[in-house]
Amino acid sequence: MNSAFDVIAIGRVGIDLYPLQDNVTLDHVTSFEKFIGGSATNLAIAAARHGLKSAIITRTGSDPFGRFIMDELSRLGVSNQFVSTVPILHTPIVFAEIFPPDNFPLYYYRDPKAPDLMIESHELDLPAIKQTKIYWSTLTGLSEEPSRSAHFTAWDARNRSAHTILDLDYRPTLWSPTNSPIVQIAKALKHVSIVIGNQEECEIATGENDPDRAADALLDKGIEIAVVKMGAQGVLAKSRSETVRKLPHRIEVLNGLGAGDSFGGGFCYGLLQKWDLEKTIAFANVAGAINASRHECATAMPTTQEVLAIINELHE
């Protein structure tokens, strides 16, 4: 029996505290609900909702929130075997404000340092990373040591194999002025085969503000598939043989914070189904839209059946 994972993600985990009142600033919010969060973690959960065998490599504090994360991962179908604790640090918390349809400010509490930036090379299960069908990293993991070195150790084990994905996921507040994301992206692009980012992130990666030119620049650097998410203009995906443009699936947005990770989970599913790029992006697009139509994030990732039901409606 093959014990390899379908998807292993590495990166952020934490607690999302979402207000139970929309269109209210945090100073006037009266109640919150607690959820598991963090982009890489959300991605692993989104993939699991499509029946993929998923795991997350990350670290938490040795505290009640860390224990909650371990339990939630198991409940949501994601292996927590690569999750460890950092006793001297607290599990990070993120507060959100919800102003639909397109304003969702985030307030990160990750000081003095988030445990997920304490991932160390010697802790990595390199055989599992090498064998997984999809290996998903995010840019934040390159913002500090020892996480940065661990990411490159893992990429060395992958040897730029197929489906080694970098989600650009640039969060300016999580980078110090002395560490340039541009420098780290340039190094990372030599190790990955697929890049996903929004238009601003792809411009940071390539210096090109036009989506087509940015995608072409990524392909010129040896990337096999470049995906540029363009907000209201939809998404552009390019490989050497295919170019796909998709408008957004129109839906009432309640909370857009998890849409990109839900898109990523759908993208992973399409890759492993060996669909062409057109079908993969169409599926991922709808998956992202469904998540944005729900108030929650990680716990609102759609199932394959929910995505296909909408796609089938569109084709009727």
How far, rounded to the nearest angstrom, does the alpha carbon of residue 311 sit from its chain's CA centroid? 23
Residue 48, sorted as left (phi over 0), alpha (psi -120 to 50) or beta, turns out to be alpha
Tokens of 256: 């857009």
**Strand 106-109 to strand 32-37: parallel, antiparallel, or no bridges (unpaired)?**
unpaired
By the 8 A CB rule, do 32 and 15 touch? no
Distance, CA of 264 to CA of 212 (rounded, Å): 20
Give the count of beta carbons closer than 10 Å to the beta carbon of residue 220. 10
By the 8 A CB rule, do 163 and 188 touch? no
What is the enclosing helix (H) or strand (E) of 37?
Answer: strand 32-37
Burial class (CB in 10 A: 0-12, 13-18, 19+), 239: middle
What are the average pLDDT values for consecutive 10-residue runs of the chain, which has 316 residues?
86 98 97 98 99 99 99 99 98 98 96 98 98 99 98 98 98 93 98 98 98 99 98 95 95 95 99 98 98 96 98 87
Burial class (CB in 10 A: 0-12, 13-18, 19+), 10: buried
What is the enclosing helix (H) or strand (E) of 164?
Answer: strand 164-167
Distance, CA of 94 to CA of 18 (rounded, Å): 9
Domains of the chain: 7-12+40-82+113-315 (3.40.1190.20)
Tokens of 6: 């379908």
By the 8 A CB rule, do 270 and 284 touch? yes
Tokens of 173: 């507040």
Residues 6 or more apart from 284 whose CB is under 8 A from it? 235, 263, 264, 265, 266, 267, 270
User: So what's the pLDDT on residue 3?
Assistant: 76
- Structure letter (DSSP) for residue 162: T
How far, rounded to the nearest angstrom, does the alpha carbon of residue 80 sit from its chain's CA centroid? 17
User: So what's the pLDDT on residue 315?
Assistant: 83
